[in-house]
Amino acid sequence: AAQSNSSSQIVCVAGQCLQGVANTSIGATLSIPSNPSILLLPGQYPSSSQPQLLHDALSSQRATLSLPSGFSNSTASSITPSLPLTIALQPGVLSYSQSLYKGQATFTQLPSTANFSTPTLPSGSFLVAPNTWAALTSSNTRLIVWDAIPDFAQLPPSTASGSLTLTDIQSAACPTPCASTGICTPAGTCSCQPGFNGTSCETCASGFFGPECQPCPSNCETCDQGLTGTGKCLVPTVTNPPSSCNCLNGVCGTNGQCTCNPGWANSNNGTACASCAPGFFLDSSGNCSICQLGCTQCSDGTGQCTACKTGFTQNANDRTRCVSVSSIPGSTTQQCPDGSFTNNGNCTLCSPTCKTCSGPTSSDCIVCGAGQYTLNGQCVGTDANGICSGTSMVANNVKEECDSCPAKCTACKIPNFNAASTIDQAQCTGCLPGFVLSQGKCLAQCPSGTFLGTDNLTCTPCDSTCTTCVDNSKFCLACASNQLASNGTCVTSCPSNTFSSSGACLSCHPDCATCTGSAFNQCSTCPSSRPVLSSTGRCLPTCAKNQYLDPSSAKCVQCDSSCSSCAGPGSNQCMACADQGNVLTSGTCAPAKCTSQSGVVPGLGVCLSDLVAVPNPTATPPPLPTFTPPAPVTAPSNGSRRLAWWEILLMALGCAFIFVMFMWLWRRRARKQRAKQTALFARKLSQRAVWRKRFGRVADFFKGANTGVNGGRSKFGLGHHYVKETEYQKLQRLRDEESKRHAMEMDKLEGKIAKSSVVRQPSITSDHDDPSYSLTSPKHNRASAPSLYSQLTRLPRSGPEPKQPTHDLDLERGDLLSSRFSVTTRATSIFHNRPEELPPLPARYPSEAERIVEEHRLQTAQQPVTSYWLVPADTLPAHTGTLVPAHTGGSTGSKNPFRLL
C-alpha cells in the first residue's frame, strides 16, 4: 500500500482540498504532467466537483489515477479518470497498522463461502466497504463494525481491550439473512458451502447428510441423508440392473444383452425375459414352472396341456398330463410292462436309465429311472441339494423332471434333497442385481428387523435392542422398549443440540444451540457465533446497523440517537456518529474541531485537517496552485485515442476505394486471361480449318471443281460445308448463283424477242456507247453492270434500281448483303473498306439475247443520237428486229414501253 509522503501534496475530497504534507495512506493518487500530485480520498466526485483545481485535474485527458490495494476491481492499478468519479473500497475490509489510516494496509476480500481464514487485525484503524459489516472478536467481547474506525483507541473502553480477530464478513444486500453455511454477496444472494442448498443455504443438497452436509458413501445409491441423517447406506449401487437393458427376469451383460433365467423368454411387447418359454407355464406364484412329461405346451395359471409330443395324447383324467398311446388300455398296440417297450409285436427291455421308454436307447426314456430326471429328452442326475447336473434347475419329484427356480433367483437349491422333497422347498442362493436375499427368497429390500450385509446381498437380523438397524446389527435407527435412537445407540433421553422425533434423537440445525425441530427457524437458543434470536425463531449473527444486542434477553435494542452504530446502551457506547459534523472520542460523539477551514471527511469519521499537515493550521490556508494544462501529445504512447468522425469517414472511403480498385484490377486480369484463352482456342480452330481447307482443295482438284467456292462437297467430305467461308468467298458464290438465274431469265426473254422486230432510235451517249463495252468484259461485271431495262432500251432509269429478291437459302443463313448488284447501290457494306476489286466472272458464251443486243449496239454506235424514243416498226427496215412501243402516251391503252409487237 502507499505510504505517507513527506513532500508537499494536495489532499482532496469532494468540495475541499488542502495542500501540505499528507498524513495518511488511504485514497488514490492523481497525477497530471506539469502539476502537483493530488491524493483523492474515498468518496463520490460529481461532474461539478470543486474546487476548480480538482475539477480541471479530473477533466484532463492526461490525468492518471493510481489505485491502491482494495480500491481496484481489476488487474490494472492505473486508470484514466472521468467525471463523475467514485472511489470506494471493494467488498471487504481494509485494516491499517496505525491510526488515521496510515502504515501497512491489509485488504481482506469478502469471501465467496462461509469458510475463510480468521486473521488477527492490527489495532490501528479500520475501513469497511459500503453496505458491509464485519465481526471482530476480542478476548471478552464481539464487535460488529458497520462504519470506518479512524482510531481504535477512540472506541468505547469496554470494547478496545486485547487483540482483535476478524471472524466474519457479510454483505447487507440480502433481503433474508443467510444461514451460517452461506454468505451474502453484494449481488443480494446467498453463496452456499459445498453440500448445502436452499435460498438461505439452510438445507443439505441431495446425496449429502449431517449438520455439515457431508457426501454419502461411494457405491451407495441412497443413504440416510439430510441434516438429521446418519449417512449410512440404505440402497447400494447396482451394476447392470435388469432395467438397464429392458429386462425383467434375466441378467444384463456388459454388451447390453439380457440372458434370461431358465423357463423365461422375451415377451411380445418388447420386454426381455417377461414371458414363459415354450414347455413352461406361469403359475400362481409368478414363477415359470415346467409342463408335465409329454406335454410341449400348456396354459398359464392352470398348467393344462394344449399340445403333446408325437406318440402322446392328453390324459382324460388329468388334463395337465400327456400319456403314451401304447399305454392306454384298449389300444391296438401291445401293452408292455414298465421297463420295456413294444417292438414288432414283442416287448423289448428299455435302457437301464429308463423307467418307461419308447425305444431301446437312453434318449427314448419317457420316465427316467430312480434318481434320474428328464431334461431336454435326456435323463440326468442331481446333487445333494437337488440341483440337476450341469444346470441351475432343481429336480421336481412330482413331475419327475428338472424344474426352474423362482422368478428372481439366479440359482436355488433344496436342502437335504431326497425322494420325498417337493419343489416348494426350493430356496434361492443367488438373486438378480438389485434384489436381496432373505430367508431363501429374493426381495426388493430387506424386511423390517434386518439389514443388508457387507456382501450387498444377504439380509441379516438386527440386534434384539433394535427394531430397525443399518450397516450392522447394533446401529439402531429405531429402538425397542420405547427407547430413543441417538446416533445408532438406544437412550432414554435426547442429548443437547438434538430433539426427539419418531423414536429418534435428531440433530438441530447448525444455526441453533437448542431447537424444537430440524429447520433453521425452529431454534430455542443460539450459539455465540449467532447470538441474536429473532422473532421468527432464527439465530442471526447481528442486529441492524443502529441496534445492539442485549445479552440478557438475546434481543436487539435501539442505539442512542447520537450513534449511527453502537456496542451497547447510552451515548458513550457509540462505534460511529450519526451527525456528519461529529467525531468519535472514547465512544462518545463530539463536535469536530477541524482546522484550516476544513470539515469531516464523509465515510472516514475524521477531519481533513487531521490527514494533512500544514505549516500554520490556525491561519487561513493559502490558495491552491493554478492548474496548468499539460502540453498536448501528438501520439499517445498507448494508442488508445478515440478517432474523430472525419477520420472514420476517410478510412471508410479509403477502404471502399481500395476494394473498388481491387475489383477493377481483378476484372481486367480476368478479361485478359479470357481473351488469351479465346485466342488460343481460335488459333487451334483455325489450324484445323486450314488443314481441312487444304484437303478439300486437293479433293476438288481431283474432282475437277473450283477450290472451295462452288458449294460442292469434296471426295473426302471436306467441302465448304466444313470450311468456314470468308465474306469475299460468300459474295463470289452469290454472284455466280445470280448469274445463273439471270441467264435463265434471258433465255426466256430471247424466245419472246424472236417473235417481233424492234428498231431503236438513236439515243444519248452513255457508258454503253463505248465500243469496248461488253457484257463479258471484266470491267463490267455483274455486280456493277446496268439493269436489264437500261441494257435493252439504252435509256437510264428515272429512279433508283429496285433491289432484287434474295434466295431462301440466304434468308435462312442470315447472309443479307447491303447491295443486290444494282447500279444505284453499287457499293456494299461488305466491301466498303476493301480496296481490291471483285474478281472477274469466268469466260462464258453470251446468250442469244445478249448477242442480239450486242449486234444492235455496234450498228447504232456510228449513228448520231437524235431521240430517246422508239420509232414504229413499219418505218424501219424489216431486218432490224428492234422493239417498238405499242402506244406513246395516249389516253387509252398501255403505257408499257416493253410491250412486244
Q: Which three cell numbers stand for residue 540?
A: 442471526
616 pLDDT higher than 50 = yes
Q: What is the DSSP string of 672-718?
A: HHHHHHHHHHHHHHHHHHHHHHHHHHHHHHHHT--SS-S----TTS-
Pick from 58-72, 84-98, 128-142, 840-854: least confident = 840-854
895 pLDDT higher than 50 = no
- Which tens digit of pLDDT belongs to each residue from 846-891? 666 677 777 777 766 655 544 444 444 444 444 444 444 444 444 4
pLDDT at site 661: 94
| Greater pLDDT, 502 or 890 | 502
Gap between the Cα atoms of 392 and 410, Å rounded: 8
Q: Rounded to two decimals, what is the model's pTM?
A: 0.58
Q: Which three cell numbers stand for residue 174?
A: 440480502
- Which tens digit of pLDDT belongs to each residue from 372-427? 999 988 999 999 999 999 999 999 999 999 999 999 999 999 999 999 999 999 99
- Which tens digit of pLDDT belongs to each residue from 186-219? 888 998 999 999 999 999 999 999 989 999 998 8
- Check residue 246 and give left, alpha or beta (phi > 0: left; psi -120 to 50: alpha): left
pLDDT at site 418: 92
Gap between the Cα atoms of 797 and 824, Å rounded: 10
pLDDT at site 362: 87
What number of residues does the chain have? 901
761 pLDDT higher than 50 = no
pLDDT at site 306: 92
Pick from 144-148, 331-335, 385-389, 632-636: least confident = 632-636
The residue among 505, 498, 454, 499 whose CA lies nearest residue 479 is: 505
Phi, psi of 696 (to 5 degrees): -65, -40
| Greater pLDDT, 546 or 623 | 546
pLDDT-based confidence at residue 83 (cuts at 50, 70, 90): confident
pLDDT at site 780: 43
Pick from 40-44, 133-137, 324-328, 778-782: least confident = 778-782
The residue among 351, 401, 358, 354 whose CA lies nearest residue 376 is: 401
Q: Which three cell numbers stand for residue 564?
A: 449511527
Most confident of 512-521, 634-643, 736-745: 512-521
Gap between the Cα atoms of 443 and 461, Å rounded: 15
CB atoms within 10 A of CB 99: 19
| Greater pLDDT, 619 or 535 | 535
The residue among 140, 168, 166, 163 whose CA lies nearest residue 152 is: 163
548 CB-side CA count, 13 A: 23
Asked whether the beta carbons of 66 and 29 are under 8 A apart, the reply is: yes
Helix H or strand E encompassing 93:
strand 92-98
Question: Where does 196-320 have alpha helices with state H?
Answer: none
Phi, psi of 73 (to 5 degrees): -100, 15
Average pLDDT over residues 449-469: 92
Q: Which three cell numbers stand for residue 441?
A: 427368497
pLDDT-based confidence at residue 654 (cuts at 50, 70, 90): very high
Most confident of 99-113, 281-295, 817-831: 281-295
Share of the chain above pLDDT 70, in %: 77
Asked whether the beta carbons of 56 and 39 are under 8 A apart, the reply is: no
pLDDT at site 12: 92
- Which tens digit of pLDDT belongs to each residue from 109-153? 888 776 666 777 777 899 999 999 999 887 777 889 999 999 988
Most confident of 328-332, 565-569, 727-731: 565-569
Q: Is 846 exposed, middle or buried (0-12, 13-18, 19+ CB in 10 A)?
A: middle
Pick from 75-84, 238-247, 345-354, 541-550: least confident = 75-84
- Which tens digit of pLDDT belongs to each residue from 690-705? 777 777 777 777 765 4
Per-chain mean pLDDT for the chain: 80
Q: Which amino acid is it at 572?
A: N
Average pLDDT over residues 284-290: 92
256 pLDDT higher than 50 = yes
The residue among 829, 804, 807, 834 whose CA lies nearest residue 817 is: 829
pLDDT at site 781: 44
| Greater pLDDT, 633 or 645 | 645
- Which tens digit of pLDDT belongs to each residue from 790-799? 655 555 655 5
